[in-house]
């Protein structure tokens, strides 16, 4: 490894956090060798059955840069700064090579030549997060390019976003075969990159377009507070619901418009009604799929903690969510697994089984959730909402 882990921190951390941090730094999920052509890239997950990492995932590399900003803000370790730089440089290299933030690089080094609008926004946010700690104008300029592509190319006048650009046909496409190849509530989270740039540049175009996107929540939110995956069907996906809430809460932090805050509160009330005895919430509703996943639970915990800091209240329901999330942390001796978070429990014919994938974004979301929980009395909403990814 070329990076060293920093142990010292001015806040009290628990072993769950430290294990998760160690996994993100030392498991191999992040390519740390400078002579590797994909130095700075981050894999999707580690598969314990195949004993190998999955494809290199630009979206998750954007999250990694944001995670490094989060860690650097609280620990001031230059290793985190350098990791974020490496990840951002890899994303820029991908863009220059293919003309967009492509979906990924397969284990046999084949590029997956689709450009997802959502992924592009997450990468823009990650690059802006690195700019905030480095103040290197190169990264602000590049993030502006990504955000401008979203506004000028992917965004429609009604606030909907074209989900998927095919680099070969040079056209936007969509497909009902896969949920993420359609416009959905998840695209509300794209406003985080636009508003992050707005706070730096005060460009009103960014704010007005972000508000147009955010106001689309009315086309997804049911009367009971739940948020549909797609506007014209009944399926609810907890992960994408949380994406929408993250975007709305971030938007509220900038605009102070109560509409966005109330949408978050109503959705969380619905979520609380779905909590099972083990602290889990189903990933899918009104769907043929059945699983209980770590990453949306980590997202919900983060949102509840931020709301508790904003409103000076306490959300006791998140404690049971936290217990469930903790049950999915790997504690085996395998360096590639230990400390990371498994993706989910899935429903088999007879019972629930743990999927043997240690998931990168689940681990990043959980890292932040456990940090905020352990330091609840010391964190501040206005600072931590800046660090949400």
Of 184, 238, 243, give the one whose Cα is nearest residue 216. Answer: 184
> What are the two backbone dihedrals, phi and then psi, of residue 336, each rounded to the nearest 5 degrees?
-75, -15
User: 224: which residues sit within 8 A by CB, 6+ positions away?
Assistant: 270
Helices (H), the chain: 15-26, 58-75, 78-98, 117-134, 137-149, 191-201, 204-214, 238-255, 258-273, 294-311, 317-326, 360-374, 381-387
Residue 236: in which H helix or E strand, if any?
strand 236-237
CATH code for the domain defined by 15-387:
1.50.10.10
Specify the pLDDT at position 172: 98
Which secondary-structure segment (H or E) carries 354? strand 352-354
| Cα-based distances in Å from 294 to 118, 201, 297, 378 | 21, 36, 5, 25
Q: CA–CA separation, 324 vs 151, rounded Å?
A: 39
- Output the pLDDT for position 58: 98
Asked whether 251 and 211 are in contact (CB, 8 A), the reply is yes
pLDDT at 11: 45
pLDDT at 7: 41
Q: Which residues contact 233 (CB under 8 A, 6 or more apart)?
A: none
How high is the pLDDT of residue 14? 54
Render pLDDT for 109-129 as a digit per residue (tens, 0 to 9): 999 999 999 999 999 999 999
Residues in the chain predicted with pLDDT less than 50, given as ranges, are 1-2, 4-13
Note the pLDDT of residue 2: 47
Partners of 264 in the beta sheet?
none
Beta strands 357-359 and 341-342: pairing type?
Answer: antiparallel
Question: pTM of the full predicted structure?
Answer: 0.95
């Amino acid at each position: 490894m070329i990076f060293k882990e920093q142990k010292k921190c001015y806040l009290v951390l628990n072993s769950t956090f430290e294990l998760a941090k160690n996994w993100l730094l030392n498991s191999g999920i992040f390519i740390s060798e400078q002579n590797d052509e994909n130095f700075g890239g981050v894999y999707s997950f580690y598969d314990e059955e195949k004993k190998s990492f999955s494809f290199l995932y630009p979206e998750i590399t954007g999250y990694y840069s944001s995670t490094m900003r989060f860690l650097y803000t609280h620990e001031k370790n230059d290793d985190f700064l350098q990791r974020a730089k490496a990840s951002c440089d890899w994303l820029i290299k991908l863009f220059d090579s293919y003309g967009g933030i492509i979906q990924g690089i397969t284990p046999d080094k084949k590029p997956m030549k689709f450009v997802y609008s959502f992924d592009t926004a997450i990468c823009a946010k990650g690059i802006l997060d690195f700019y905030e700690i480095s103040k290197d104008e190169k990264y602000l300029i590049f993030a502006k390019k990504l955000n401008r592509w979203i506004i000028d190319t992917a965004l429609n006048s009604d606030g909907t976003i074209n989900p998927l650009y095919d680099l070969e046909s040079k056209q936007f496409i969509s497909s009902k075969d896969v949920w993420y190849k359609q416009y959905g509530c998840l695209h509300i989270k794209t406003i985080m990159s636009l508003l992050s740039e707005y706070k730096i540049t005060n460009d009103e175009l960014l704010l007005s377009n972000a508000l147009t996107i955010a106001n689309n929540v009315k086309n997804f939110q049911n009367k009971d507070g739940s948020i549909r995956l797609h506007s014209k069907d009944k399926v609810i996906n907890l992960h994408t619901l949380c994406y929408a809430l993250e975007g709305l809460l971030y938007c509220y932090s900038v605009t102070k418009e109560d509409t966005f805050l109330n949408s978050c509160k109503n959705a969380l009330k619905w979520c609380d009604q779905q909590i099972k005895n083990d602290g889990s919430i189903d990933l899918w509703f009104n769907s043929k799929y059945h699983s209980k996943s770590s990453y949306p639970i980590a997202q919900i915990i983060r949102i509840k903690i931020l709301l508790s800091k904003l409103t000076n209240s306490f959300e006791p329901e998140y404690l049971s969510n936290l217990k469930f999330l903790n049950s999915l942390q790997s504690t085996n001796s395998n360096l590639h697994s230990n400390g990371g978070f498994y993706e989910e429990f899935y429903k088999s014919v007879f019972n629930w089984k743990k999927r043997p994938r240690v998931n990168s974004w689940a681990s990043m979301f959980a890292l932040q959730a456990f940090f905020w929980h352990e330091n609840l009395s010391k964190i501040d909403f206005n600072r931590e909402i800046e660090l949400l990814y």
